[in-house]
Structure 1
Amino acid sequence: MSKHEPLEPLSPDFLDADLFGYQDALTDDEQKIILKVRAFLRDEVAPRANEFWEKGESPVHLLPRLAELDIVGLGYDFDGRKPARKVLTGWLGLEFSRVDPSTSTMFSVHSGLAMSSIAILGSDEQKDRWLPPMRRMEKIGAFGLSEPHGGSDVAGGLETTARRDGDDWVLNGRKRWIGNATFADLVIIYAKDEEDGEVKGFVVEKEFAGFGVEKMEGKYSLRAVENADVYLEDCRVPAANKLEHANTFADTSKVLRLTRGGVAWGAVGVMMGAYERAVAYSRERVQFGEPIASFQLISDLIARMAGNITACMGMALRVSQLQDQGVHLDEHAALSKTYCTTRLREVVGWAKEIMGGNGILLEHDVIRYFMDAEALYSYEGTSQMNSLIVGRGITGYSAFV
């Protein structure tokens, strides 16, 4: 074999970056779903990902096609369908993020955060009311927890309030960083009950009086996610829209525990996307008469990237397996989130380094991954807050303020 001849992947159906063949953890039927989604992302998302990122617009034209793929809400038990394994739904997040982290976030906010709030915290009647049209993408969901003054302390620092008034609840406050809110039909809003001080969840529909949305501008990570400020001014929400089992922040945490592990899968996908483009570039870019892939320093960076990807894939996979077994803990999801997003920062930086000055050109994609990595590093709990969760789980002592 020539020193410039690349190794063949394990199989044409496997990703080059999956060096240890983790895809074998999927069943044959699950792999068929993955290959169908991979083709869709390659053909319909990748060609325009940079365009939508540069415009700062969500690719809402994809929503009907996503419904046709029959992957929305795969992890939930409703509509007569057995829930898919978390291993499969996690891998789907990898596939989306590998091509476009913004499209991945748009999809996961709807199918993950919004739908899981209803699936986990809603009554049977509420599930029957909202989940089927959300699965068909006839109603698009968003998730409203973060606030202008509330980030890491949101558990006890929510400023948005809810007050019971007859057959309604009256909501007042403001939410920030709410993805999908500019085009969502319903937003899951978490607010503090004025009577007992507990956090409760509500399904707020876009036509409700007192509900307003304003798109955030000047955002340079996940630009194709339309994050928004949400305004609630004496917004009246029918009692039937109060999620039956969302009565404390501990209930809200059930949703976050489920989705936080999914960020690890997303981080692996972003790493893979940057890695694939850097490796391809290293084979094509010639300096001093040789492809730069033949240089020792470039090989070292590629090996480091491959190591981070492989280690993080193992962690993400194991967390999903624990979720499927019903034995996963807060510290499992928190450790995978903080570790994988930290390694993500390294990988996208090395990918940009391999490309030199070309690494900041959008046409090479890596700068998009580089910028998008910052959002993954911060959302679903900062690295430091997740570290505190891990420490509490290991020592039994809480280091939170």
Structure 2
Amino acid sequence: MTDLSSLRQDEVDENARSSYFNLPALDVSVAFPQATPVSQFPPCASDYYQFDDLLTSEERAIRMKVRECMEKDIAPIMTKYWEKAEFPFHVVPKIAALHIAGGTIKVLYTSGIVVTFFCFLWVMGVLVTLLLHLQVAVAEIARVDASCCTFFSVHSCLAMLTIALCGSEAQKQKYLPSMAQLNTVGCWALTEPDYGSDASSLRTTATKVEGGWILEGQKRWIGNSTFADLLIIFARNTTTNHINGYIVKKNAPGLTATKIENKIGLRIVQNGDILLKKVFVPDEDRLTGVNSFQDTNKVLAVSRIMVAWQPVGMSMGVYDMCHRYLKERKQFGAPLAAFQLNQQKLVQMLGNVQAMTLVGWRLCKLYDKGNMTHGQASLAKAWISSKARETISLGRELLGGNGVLADFLVAKAFCDLEPIYTYEGTYDINTLVTGREITGIASFKPASSAHRSRL
């Protein structure tokens, strides 16, 4: 090996120096052979209280089908795409083949004719286990990759669900079958630059014109927006001052969506800034069931359950990774799993996963019976994401230096959890939703602000 320090500066050829220092990194399995990287995903070791016993045979089948796909097709490539902050479009057909998009929406195909059935509890009283089917799938996707889970959830639990709940029969028949097959991808645009937690104060406007509406405004942090075929846009009706919903097509004149750069979490998700400049939406694409923010809340109630299950799945994956790593990695002549402090942390993580899973399961059952409240959904999202933060932080400690490498999952999950801890209501906002429900007192605005608003 050439000793560059012994050469005079003018004798060192720049190209030679570049080739010396810019060698590609070793494959992690070669560089660190003592532990298996996440590209070979660890077997599930986190179902300590046998949660599978609470699932139907159909739910267990869904769980295993999604798990097999994620471990085989997503785990080997997710670190590379996360590092590049790019979306792996080639895996969309694989997710579509699972036939889980929509979750609570059943789409049947008979004799070439598409017939769509909507089985929602508050409409027909027959939802029973379909919501849990979806959440089992959400957890399994998030167990391997939180970004893929967010892509799926935005499309399925926000865009599709909004059309199913708030769209006309014609809109349901037109859009949902293609969305269920992921031939058409959707996004959901509520948040604005000036209004995140205070979403009901949005400023994007919808003005009635002949044959349709003109949308003007801006949206921010909208997942899937840079490539979505359909954008669900919420805007304030300039005549009624109420919030309405609209289906906007990808190439609508005046619509632009640009990627938000430099994120530290959910890097595979393509979050975007949306600009709407005199975007025309025909009357047929106005969501007739969205006439106030309360209608938007119908969707948020379900999506908050979904977001509560994402940290459950992420914590499962991190526990599984740490469980394998601690048995493989040796220090001081023994596997890390042999040390008392490490066992204590691992057990604490395992206990958190059991509790988080059972809270999520109970929330689905309350929803299925029509008994779930907004406060219960908010408490679950806030508490589960908080416990997941603790769980993944413990995992980062257990992996030592490798805990900051995405190659061993934990560092990636550590970063990915931060936006999940915040979206669908921050921890603080969700506690205030529950606090309002259990006390009867709303405390979202400072007293002085609330007083001025009444004047």
- Is the counterpart of residue 210 in structure 1 residue 239 in structure 2? no
Match of 1:145 in 2: 190
Q: What SS does the corresponding residue of 2:287 show, helix, strand or coil?
A: coil
Q: Within 2, Cα distance between the matches of 1:22 and 1:68?
A: 26
Match of 1:10 in 2: none
Q: Within 2, Cα distance between the matches of 1:393 and 1:178?
A: 29
Match of 1:33 in 2: 62
Q: Within 2, Cα distance between the matches of 1:371 and 1:246?
A: 35
- Contact 1:292/1:298 (CA < 8 Å) preserved in 2? yes
What amino acid does structure 1 have at the position aligned with 2:87? S
Q: Within 2, Cα distance between the matches of 1:140 and 1:80?
A: 18
Match of 1:262 in 2: 306
Q: Within 2, Cα distance between the matches of 1:61 and 1:327?
A: 40
- Is the counterpart of residue 226 in structure 1 residue 262 in structure 2? no
What is the RMSD of the two structures over their aligned residues, measured on CA atoms? 1.2
Q: Within 2, Cα distance between the matches of 1:82 and 1:239?
A: 23
Match of 2:451 in 1: none
Match of 2:46 in 1: 17
- Contact 2:197/2:425 (CA < 8 Å) preserved in 1? yes
Deviations 1:28-59 (A, max 9, x none): 12211221111111100111010110110112
What amino acid does structure 2 have at the position aligned with 1:90? Q
What amino acid does structure 1 have at the position aligned with 2:235? A
Q: What SS does the corresponding residue of 1:341 show, helix, strand or coil?
A: helix
Match of 2:177 in 1: 132
Shifted more, 78-87 versus 318-327: the winner is 78-87
- Contact 2:216/2:277 (CA < 8 Å) preserved in 1? yes
Q: Within 1, Cα distance between the matches of 2:46 and 2:78?
A: 21
Task: State the shift of 1:123 in Å.
Answer: 1.2
The alignment of Structure 1 onto Structure 2 pairs a total of residues equal to: 387
- Contact 1:271/1:347 (CA < 8 Å) preserved in 2? yes
Return 5+ residue gaps in structure 1 as ranges.
1-13
Q: What SS does the corresponding residue of 2:77 show, helix, strand or coil?
A: helix
What amino acid does structure 1 have at the position aligned with 2:136? W
Deviations 1:218-243 (A, max 9, x none): 01100000001111001010111110
1:377-388 equivalences in 2 (<5 Å): 377-388=421-432
- Contact 1:146/1:177 (CA < 8 Å) preserved in 2? yes
What amino acid does structure 2 have at the position aligned with 1:56? A
Larger Rg, first or second structure (1 or 2): 2
Task: State the shift of 1:81 in Å.
Answer: 5.2
Closer, same or farther: CA 81–248 of 1 in aligned 2, 3 Å: closer
Q: What SS does the corresponding residue of 2:265 show, helix, strand or coil?
A: coil
- Contact 1:186/1:204 (CA < 8 Å) preserved in 2? yes
Q: Within 2, Cα distance between the matches of 1:71 and 1:308?
A: 27
Task: State the shift of 1:143 in Å.
Answer: 0.5
Task: State the shift of 1:182 in Å.
Answer: 1.1
- Contact 1:308/1:343 (CA < 8 Å) preserved in 2? yes
Q: What SS does the corresponding residue of 2:240 show, helix, strand or coil?
A: coil
- Contact 1:56/1:224 (CA < 8 Å) preserved in 2? yes
- Contact 2:118/2:164 (CA < 8 Å) preserved in 1? no
Q: Within 1, Cα distance between the matches of 2:197 and 2:59?
A: 36
Task: State the shift of 1:15 in Å.
Answer: 3.5
- Contact 2:59/2:136 (CA < 8 Å) preserved in 1? no
- Contact 1:212/1:230 (CA < 8 Å) preserved in 2? yes
Structure 1 residue ranges, 4+ long, deviating more than 6 angstroms after superposition: none
Shifted more, 58-67 versus 181-190: the winner is 58-67
- Percent of aligned pairs sharing the same letter: 39
Closer, same or farther: CA 81–371 of 1 in aligned 2, 3 Å: same
Which of residues 140, 158, 167 is equivalent to 1:122?
167
Q: What SS does the corresponding residue of 2:309 show, helix, strand or coil?
A: helix
Q: Within 2, Cα distance between the matches of 1:216 and 1:106?
A: 15
- Contact 2:96/2:182 (CA < 8 Å) preserved in 1? yes
Shifted more, 278-287 versus 89-98: the winner is 278-287
Task: State the shift of 1:299 in Å.
Answer: 0.9
1:100-249 equivalences in 2 (<5 Å): 100-155=145-200, 157-249=201-293
Q: Within 2, Cα distance between the matches of 1:33 and 1:285?
A: 33
Q: Within 2, Cα distance between the matches of 1:81 and 1:124?
A: 11
- Contact 1:59/1:103 (CA < 8 Å) preserved in 2? no
What amino acid does structure 2 have at the position aligned with 1:366? V
Task: State the shift of 1:208 in Å.
Answer: 1.1
- Contact 2:147/2:269 (CA < 8 Å) preserved in 1? yes
Task: State the shift of 1:138 in Å.
Answer: 1.4
- Is the counterpart of residue 73 in structure 1 residue 102 in structure 2? yes
Task: State the shift of 1:80 in Å.
Answer: 4.3
Q: What SS does the corresponding residue of 2:213 show, helix, strand or coil?
A: strand
- Is the counterpart of residue 352 in structure 1 residue 396 in structure 2? yes
Return 5+ residue gaps in structure 2 as ranges.
1-42, 108-114, 120-128, 446-455
- Is the counterpart of residue 372 in structure 1 residue 416 in structure 2? yes
Task: State the shift of 1:77 in Å.
Answer: 4.5
What amino acid does structure 1 have at the position aligned with 2:191? S
- Is the counterpart of residue 307 in structure 1 residue 351 in structure 2? yes
TM-score norm. by structure 1 comes to 0.94
Q: Within 2, Cα distance between the matches of 1:175 and 1:23?
A: 40
What amino acid does structure 1 have at the position aligned with 2:140? E
TM-score norm. by structure 2 comes to 0.83
Q: What SS does the corresponding residue of 1:47 show, helix, strand or coil?
A: coil
Q: Within 1, Cα distance between the matches of 2:427 and 2:62?
A: 32
- Contact 1:268/1:309 (CA < 8 Å) preserved in 2? yes
Closer, same or farther: CA 140–358 of 1 in aligned 2, 3 Å: same
- Contact 1:211/1:235 (CA < 8 Å) preserved in 2? yes
